[in-house]
Structure 1
Amino acid sequence: MELDQLRYFLQVAVDGNFTRAAEHLGISQPALSRSIGRLEEEIGQPVFERQTRCVSLTDAGKLLQGRAKEVLSILEDTLAEIVDDGQVGRIRVGAIPTIAPFFLPGLLRRFSQDYPQATLVVQEETTEALLKACADGLVDVAILALPIQAKYLEIEELFEEELLLVLPPNHQLVSKESIELSDIDQIPFVLLGEAHCLSDNIVSFCRRQSFHPVSVERTSQMATVQELVSLDHGISMIPMMARRLDQSRRRVYRSLSGVKPTRKIVAVWNPYRFQSRLLEAFRKTLRDHVQTLSGDEPAAS
């Protein structure tokens, strides 16, 4: 049994389709089919149930999937430990879409300056997908927002940031010195789609304050939320890190009076995988970067 056979098998299991798996692996579909066929001959039974447009794992395939992940993880950790010099290597960083474009560029630039021989690979995904990637060893460290549910993963709180009210510049609330939650009652909200935890943070905060935001539009990108607010489609709440990079005069940011909406940003990793000196250095750079940003926050307006 060859390692490539295991890698090919796992890719087919993920994609559920030989054609897509072959594209991801960069090989021809016949070559992939032959490799899986040889694997099944060696095992003595099929690992996939083949249907017209997809495949699914047999009981033998499900057992092999778990063992194959373990074998490849052990091999990867062993190779990483052998060559670990604290300077050369690959760090796979994950972040959710409401963090990645605002927080990662400065962090990655800072780390690359200190460790020019290191390779950084970025994966932007939902919280659920990144937690699974961490558990499977496909991501070395993920930057997420609470709440999260994760077993057997290390969670380190990095910082808490305020969610600012964002308004079009001609909105009647812009001139108010102090904006209360009662002032935005019944005003339409533009929110991210349900797959994004930021919307959950906003809705949960409002409900705790006995306030129910009226959502009229949902979108998949933070930039689209900001643009829709600029066009007077509604109001929204935006993380401080996104406001920090927004230089547009077509939007106005305000801090709510009283109890303020916030979210907590955390780093997550799998402590059961090999922790290279380079990964430790990246986490230290991450903490230093957070400290730098904490002393450089703009005013809400």
Structure 2
Amino acid sequence: MDIYQLRYFLAIVETNNFSRAAERAFVSQPTLSAGIKKLETELGTPLFNRDARKISLTEAGRRFLPHARTIIYECNAAKSDIVRKSPVRRLQLGLLRSAPSARVAALLDDFGKAHPDIQISIKDGSTAQLQRWLDEGRIDVALSVTPDAESNTEFVQLYKWKYMVAVPSGHSFSGRNAIPLKELDRLDFLHRTHCEAETELTRMFASAGVNPHIIFRTDQDEKALAFVGAGLGLCMMPDILNAPGVTLLPVEGINIYRTIGLVWRAKDENDLIRSFQMFAVSHDWYPERAGSKNLDWAR
């Protein structure tokens, strides 16, 4: 397996087109196709479903994607590290899949401007995965839920969220203060497959005799919000998430809260973790609820 094959693979994933991928990789389309065929032969399985109208990843391709991205990232990081005059400090960050992407991106941008000598690599996963990666030393700090008391980790709170129902802003529910759980019965719903409170929600819906019609399942919050805004269905999600055209409303009978913060192993605490913690704690996690904070003091 060669690095150029991984770059070809990622170019196709990013462009969803062999011709555009070849342009991005600065090779001819036959050269790119040959490289992908050689990679698939080595792996013993197709990575792409090919038809006349679209290209999509096979199951093997989806499993291979995070490995390819990690390898290319590490190669680029190694090259950057060597050409720099001073060593690069690197923070390995674990990110809960349901974390608000826009707010996390704003935090990383702000931190990066203040610490250009620090590279941050990100692994997103479930609560259990983040805890395992911390235990194994594969990440330095995680943005996750409050850990178990016996986990031998430190925790600092960043924000809290409550589960609400997301509805299109023009929906008949949108002008109400709260929605009785019973009124959600038989309605079209989008299901967030990475939901940390799935067991609790399922139990509460079942206890109330509410049986929503699941029309779509996704592990991407941006896609869920977009589909809600387009009127395709409702969705239970944390109130930290939002998007134009979507209204979040409390559901009577659903009282699920979570506290989100930074988690790290006490024995691993260092200046790098403390610097990131300082920015994360002072970050404005609800910009729509209050004016932005000035972080000049931290620069």
> TM-score higher than 0.5 here?
yes
Q: Within the alignment, does 1:293 sit opposite 2:285 as a pair?
A: yes
Matches within 5 A, 1:143-292: 143-145=143-145, 151-193=151-193, 195-200=194-199, 202-203=201-202, 206=205, 210=208, 212=210, 214=212, 216=214, 217-243=216-242, 246=243, 248-249=244-245, 251-256=246-251, 260-273=255-268, 275-289=269-283, 292=284
Shift of 1:201: 5.5
TM (normalized to structure 2)? 0.58
Matches within 5 A, 1:69-84: none
Secondary structure of the residue that 2:285 maps to in structure 1?
A: helix
The residue type paired with residue 227 of structure 1 is A
Given that residues 93 and 140 in structure 1 are in contact (C-alpha distance below 8 angstroms), is that contact kept between their aligned partners in structure 2? Answer: yes
- Structure 1 residues 104 and 161: CA distance shift in structure 2, 3 A: same
Q: List runs of 5+ in structure 1 lacking aligned partners.
A: 1-18, 25-52, 54-86
- Structure 1 residues 182 and 156: CA distance shift in structure 2, 3 A: same
1:222-266 alpha-carbon deviations (Å, 9 max, x no partner): 1222233234332112323321xx1x23x3333345764432213
Q: State, as a whole percentage, how many aligned pairs show the same letter.
A: 18
- Structure 1 residues 295 and 104: CA distance shift in structure 2, 3 A: closer
Matches within 5 A, 1:131-150: 131-145=131-145
The residue type paired with residue 90 of structure 2 is R
Give, in whole Å, the separation in 1 of the partners of 2:224 and 2:150. Answer: 29
Give, in whole Å, the separation in 2 of the partners of 1:227 and 1:92. Answer: 30
Give, in whole Å, the separation in 1 of the partners of 2:100 and 2:136. Answer: 21
Matches within 5 A, 1:90-105: 90-99=90-99, 101-105=101-105
In structure 2, what is the equivalent of residue 125 of structure 1?
A: 125
The residue type paired with residue 277 of structure 1 is D
TM (normalized to structure 1)? 0.58
Give, in whole Å, the separation in 2 of the partners of 1:252 and 1:164. Answer: 10
1:78-117 alpha-carbon deviations (Å, 9 max, x no partner): xxxxxxxxx9621111112211624311211222232222
Q: List runs of 5+ in structure 2 lacking aligned partners.
A: 7-43, 45-86, 291-299
Given that residues 188 and 213 in structure 1 are in contact (C-alpha distance below 8 angstroms), is that contact kept between their aligned partners in structure 2? Answer: no
Secondary structure of the residue that 1:293 maps to in structure 2?
A: coil
The residue type paired with residue 265 of structure 1 is I
- Structure 1 residues 94 and 215: CA distance shift in structure 2, 3 A: farther
Secondary structure of the residue that 1:99 maps to in structure 2?
A: coil
In structure 2, what is the equivalent of residue 106 of structure 1?
A: 106
Secondary structure of the residue that 1:272 maps to in structure 2?
A: helix
- Structure 1 residues 276 and 176: CA distance shift in structure 2, 3 A: closer
Give, in whole Å, the separation in 2 of the partners of 1:143 and 1:204. Answer: 27
- Structure 1 residues 200 and 145: CA distance shift in structure 2, 3 A: farther
Q: How many residues are aligned here?
A: 210
1:149-188 alpha-carbon deviations (Å, 9 max, x no partner): 8733333333211333211344332343542223323323
Given that residues 181 and 211 in structure 1 are in contact (C-alpha distance below 8 angstroms), is that contact kept between their aligned partners in structure 2? Answer: no
Shift of 1:139: 0.5
- Structure 1 residues 158 and 149: CA distance shift in structure 2, 3 A: same
Q: Which moved more, 1:117-126 or 1:171-180?
A: 171-180
Give, in whole Å, the separation in 2 of the partners of 1:241 and 1:125. Answer: 18
Give, in whole Å, the separation in 2 of the partners of 1:151 and 1:138. Answer: 16
- Structure 1 residues 121 and 150: CA distance shift in structure 2, 3 A: farther
Given that residues 229 and 236 in structure 1 are in contact (C-alpha distance below 8 angstroms), is that contact kept between their aligned partners in structure 2? Answer: yes
